[in-house]
Amino acid sequence: MVSDGVLTRWYRNRIGTPTTDDEVYGYWLFVVGLVLGTVGVALFYAAAPRSGLREVGYVLGALGFASLFVGPTLRLPLSRRALFVSYAGAVVCLVATIWFTTIYPAAWNGPEGNPAVTLYVVGLALAAIGAVLAPLLTGRQEEYERVHEEAAAATEAAEQSNERAQRASEQAEQSNERAEQATEQAERTASERDALAEELAASESERESLSTALDATEAELDVAQATLAAAMDSKGTFEMYADKAGKYRWRLRHRNGNVIADSAQGYASRQKAMQGLRSVQTNAAGGAVVFLESATEEDTAEDVPEVPAPESQGRSNCSRTTPASSAGGSVTTTETSWPTAERDTSRSPTSVGR
């Protein structure tokens, strides 16, 4: 990764996009070396021999020349060992330059045989070895190490990929289990929904049946109410009175004044007469009327064949029984009569106790 310093931004804007920081630093080291070398050469020619200014020229020239040599080497894509050799050469050149300042000008007899100059040359040689010979001598070993490192990195990446794949497989299994559980839950829910739908349908059918029965019951109730209303709408009135002998009698008089029925006998008390009247009111509605054409006065109720009372709408049937032919049976002819209901005896001043 390339840093975003001032030198890097200037390099990117003026020269191009760098790939490494060493590329930027090598360029600027080359530029510094070029400037120092130029200034040093200018001072060397401008200054007097064995003067302090010439000494500065020697120092700047030595530093500039070493920078010009190491800067391009730093920009090259070399291995760490080659760069370390080049850095060592630069350090040796710096030490030789400092040593030169202790020799010049008192012990300076020229560059021939001078130990500082010799050490400076050794530093340049080390820089050259790092730039040229070290990659040639260590290339195979470094290539082997690089391949080994790449293989180790690839192995580690493969292991990480296997771990991720295993985790993904476990997550997929868990997802499948959750999906199966969700499916089972959905099936149970669907089954419960179907059962509820069946229960709802059964309840709806039962409700319809109950509604039908309720409608029939209401219809029967309407019929019964109509029958009761018809029965209550009687046209006759029961009258209770005492005869000449002091006996209590009752009679049923139509509203037109005709007597429909009477007690046919006298009762010793008013209570007995009322009991007979109530018995007629209770048993007359819906009762059958039987005509015995061949009966005599000595015949009893047990001698008369029983005719059931019909369940008609507010009317009772009257049956007429005649003896049959030699078969010993009877023939019943039906007539219609209207029942009577109890009236409030207070409606007429002549109803009771005449």
pLDDT digits (tens, 9 = 90+) for 28-70: 888 888 898 889 889 888 888 878 888 888 888 888 888 877 8
Q: How confident is the model at residue 134 (pLDDT cuts 50, 70, 90)?
A: low
∠ CA(143), CA(149), CA(155), 5° rounding?
A: 135
What pLDDT, on a 0 to 100 scale, did the predictor assign at position 296? 61
Q: How far, in Å, are 218, 227, 231 from residue 224 at the CA level?
A: 10, 5, 10
Distance CA 242, CA 240 (A): 7
- φ/ψ bin of 145: left (φ > 0), alpha (ψ from -120 to 50), beta (otherwise): alpha
What pLDDT, on a 0 to 100 scale, did the predictor assign at position 185? 92
Distance CA 248, CA 7 (A): 147
Q: Name beta bridge partners: 292.
A: 321
Q: What is the arithmetic mean of pLDDT over 247-272? A: 91
236 phi and psi angles, rounded to 5 deg: -115, 165
Instruction: Name the more confident of 260 and 338.
Output: 260
Q: What is the arithmetic mean of pLDDT over 119-148? A: 68
| Residue 134 near residue 85 (C-beta atoms within 8 A) | yes
Q: How confident is the model at residue 269 (pLDDT cuts 50, 70, 90)?
A: very high
- Asked whether residue 316 carries a pLDDT value surpassing 50, the answer given is no
- What DSSP character marks residue 130? I
- Asked whether residue 274 carries a pLDDT value surpassing 80, the answer given is yes
Instruction: Name the more confident of 149 and 173.
Output: 173
Whether this prediction's pTM lies above 0.85 is answered by no
What pLDDT, on a 0 to 100 scale, did the predictor assign at position 285? 67
- Asked whether residue 140 carries a pLDDT value surpassing 50, the answer given is no
- Asked whether residue 100 carries a pLDDT value surpassing 90, the answer given is no
Q: What is the arithmetic mean of pLDDT over 292-317? A: 52
Q: How confident is the model at residue 241 (pLDDT cuts 50, 70, 90)?
A: very high
Q: What is the arithmetic mean of pLDDT over 287-302? A: 63
Taking the CB of residue 147, how many other CB atoms lie within 10 A of it? 10
Dihedral over alpha carbons 131, 133, 135, 141 (to 10 degrees): -150
- Is residue 105 reached through a cis peptide bond, with omega within 30 degrees of 0 on the bond before it? yes
H or E element in which residue 141 lies = helix 134-232
Distance CA 339, CA 336 (A): 10
- Which residues in the chain are classed under CATH 3.30.160.160? 234-283
| Residue 273 near residue 263 (C-beta atoms within 8 A) | yes
What pLDDT, on a 0 to 100 scale, did the predictor assign at position 143? 55
Lowest mean pLDDT across 20-24, 33-37, 120-124, 308-312: 308-312
Q: How confident is the model at residue 187 (pLDDT cuts 50, 70, 90)?
A: very high
Distance CA 34, CA 64 (A): 6
234-283 CATH: 3.30.160.160
Distance CA 353, CA 246 (A): 11
Distance CA 179, CA 172 (A): 10
Q: From 138, 128, 127, select the one nearest 87 (Cα to Cα).
A: 127
| Residue 238 near residue 255 (C-beta atoms within 8 A) | no
Structure tokens at 290: 């039987």
H or E element in which residue 248 lies = strand 248-254
Instruction: Name the more confident of 164 and 113.
Output: 164
Q: How confident is the model at residue 180 (pLDDT cuts 50, 70, 90)?
A: very high
Q: How confident is the model at residue 248 (pLDDT cuts 50, 70, 90)?
A: very high
Q: From 294, 297, 299, select the one nearest 331 (Cα to Cα).
A: 294
Q: How confident is the model at residue 341 (pLDDT cuts 50, 70, 90)?
A: very low
Query: What's the mean pLDDT when you consider all of the chain?
Result: 76
What pLDDT, on a 0 to 100 scale, did the predictor assign at position 28? 85
